[in-house]
Amino acid sequence: MTTIVVLGAGYGGLRAVKQLVKAKVDAKIVLVNKNPYHYQSTELHEVAAGTKEPDEITFDVRKAVDERVDVVIDEVTRVDQDARKVELKNGEPLAYDYLVNALGFESETFGIKGADENGWPILDIDTAVAARKHLEDTLKNYKTSHDVNDLHIVVCGAGFTSIEYLGELVYRLPDLAEEYGFPLDKVKVDCIEATPKILPMFDPKLADWGVKYLEDHGVTFHVASPITEVKPNAVVSDGTEYPANTIIWTTGVHGSHVIADSGYDQKRNRVVVEDDLSVKGHPEEFLVGDVSAVPNPDNGRLYPTTAQISIAQADTAASNIAARIAGKEPKKFVYKSLGTLCSLGPKTGIAEVDMGGHWKLKGAKASFAKKKVADRSVTELTDVPGIMNS
């Protein structure tokens, strides 16, 4: 019997499984994931800041997929493309006829000295919880240490995760100050970014509004300031040291190390795929999400990796596998973004939405739109009602 193996139960992997089941493919479907749960990676910053608990953004993978899908909880170590086998950390290799690789992302340090050792990344549930615990413990410690650096927080990078984390952080800080008894006016939050512009993907007026909102709530941005070193209690950028006992590392991500370990032709663990999302020379293998690199046919630039495009890719990959099994030709991947949304805490944000027109939103309306998209993403991954928190 034909076997389809899907690697990763993130947005792309779960969506691919759902669509394969919906297509009623005549095949055995196997889903491999490191953890027994799926987590909403676009909401990890909320767990890291403490405005949400882990169980609010996770659900059981086995409960989320059709009972006909085999779920394997194990860690993928390598893909043997020639033998068509997936090697696992604990189990026996899995043979496949078709493969959907959606293994996701890892932190990118760009080789900066001390980043791995001294920065707190936000990559998954474990790292988000660890970052939150460190933040809370450090702020709480000020009452006995009187070390002003316990109240200094540096966020490295100003991408989406950084900005959204900052929004949650400044929202929660007043409550933490009251709970732990530290002076809120002595808290210092710095965000250090190598590029000259914050939120360049938004209309300049929206981006400026978002930046000013964060600045008005205590964030100081340092743009065009590449980080050269991360010390145990300071970040060095452009010859200046920013002392802090909490350093959040959110400068960017690359694809899973499994890509390089498996010998793919890759850059930053991302593989440039064919126009049907298959791997060159391996029409039975499809890459989606953070391990894939998809050129925009209009300008040749690579699409940014987002949950939105991962779900769209998964639809195409599943459809193309179903087509190949049926002896039909696969279709090209065509993508149209529905917009971009960025939260600035639980109650505000900015957004540009392309649905029934082009809408530019800020404040509570943007926050509402972001929550609706988050809720919708769960529906797109599973048909099981009430799956969150179960």
For residue 199, give the nearest of 163, 170, 252 by alpha carbon.
Answer: 163
H/E/C letters for each residue in the chain?
A: CCEEEEECCCHHHHHHHHHHHHCCCCCEEEEEECCCEEECHHHHHHHHHCCCCHHHCEEEHHHHCCCCCEEEECCEEEEECCCCEEEECCCCCEECCEEEECCCEEECCCCCECHHHHCEECCCHHHHHHHHHHHHHHHHHHHHHCCHHHHEEEEECCCHHHHHHHHHHHHHHHHHHHHHCCCHHHCEEEEECCCCCCCCCCCHHHHHHHHHHHHHCCEEEECCCCEEEEECCEEEECCEEEECCEEEECCCEEECHHHHHCCCCCECCEEECCCCCEECCEEEEEECHHHEECECCCCCCECCCCHHHHHHHHHHHHHHHHHHHCCCCCCCCCCCCCEEEEECCCCCEEEEEECCCEEEEECHHHHHHHHHHHHHHHHHHCCCCCCCCC
Q: How far apart are CA 125 and CA 345, in angstroms?
A: 19
For residue 312, give the nearest of 284, 333, 293 by alpha carbon.
Answer: 333
> Catalytic: 215?
no
Strand-pair partners of 172: none
For residue 352, give the nearest of 340, 335, 370, 368 by alpha carbon.
Answer: 340
**Cα dihedral across residues 271, 272, 274, 276: positive or negative:** positive
For residue 51, give the nearest of 137, 131, 113 by alpha carbon.
Answer: 131
**Which one is catalytic: 108, 164, 168, 285?**
164
Catalytic residues, by residue number, are 164
